[in-house]
Homo-oligomer: A and B are copies of this chain.
Amino acid sequence: MARAATTADAFNAVAEPRRRQILDILAGGERPVNDLVGLTGLAQPQVSRHLRVLREVGAVDVRDQGRQRLYRINGQALKPIHDWVAAYERSWSERFEQLDAVLEELQAEEVDDGSDE
C-alpha cells in the first residue's frame, strides 16, 4: 500500500491555496475560466484542473454560455469543514468562555442550595 485512499473531499480540495484563491474570487460572483486565469496568474490548464477538483467535491457549479463556461461557488460543500472545525471553536472563542463561566456559576448555586425551589 501507499498513500491513504485518495480522499476527494472538501478538506482536500481546500487544502490547496490556489483553490482557495479561486473560491475567494468566485465569492465575488460568477466567472468564466479566462477571468480566473487572468486573476490568478495560473496557466489555463491548471485553472481548469483546479476547477475540476472543486467541481468534483461540489464546491463550484458550472453553466455553459456560448463558448464560455461560467463557474460559480457552491459554499454548501464547505459546510462539513465548518461543522468539524466549529467543535474546536471553544478553544479561542470568548463567547464560549463566557458560557463556561455562566455554567460554572449555575453549578455553584446548585451546590449551595440543593433544594428544588
Residue A48 CB within 8 A of the other chain = no
Residues of A within 8 A of B (CB): 4, 7, 11-12, 14-18, 20, 23, 27, 73-76, 78-79, 81-82, 84-92
Residues of the B chain whose Cβ atoms lie less than 8 Å from the Cβ of A27: 87-88
* Cβ B20 vs Cβ A15 within 8 A: no
A42 smallest CB distance to B (angstroms): 10
The listed residue (B17, B89, B91) touching A4 by CB distance below 8 A is: B17
Residues of the B chain whose Cβ atoms lie less than 8 Å from the Cβ of A90: 75
> From A82, which residue of chain B is reached at the shortest CB distance?
B85
Bound: A23/B92 CA distance, A: 16
Residues of the B chain whose Cβ atoms lie less than 8 Å from the Cβ of A91: 73-76, 78-79
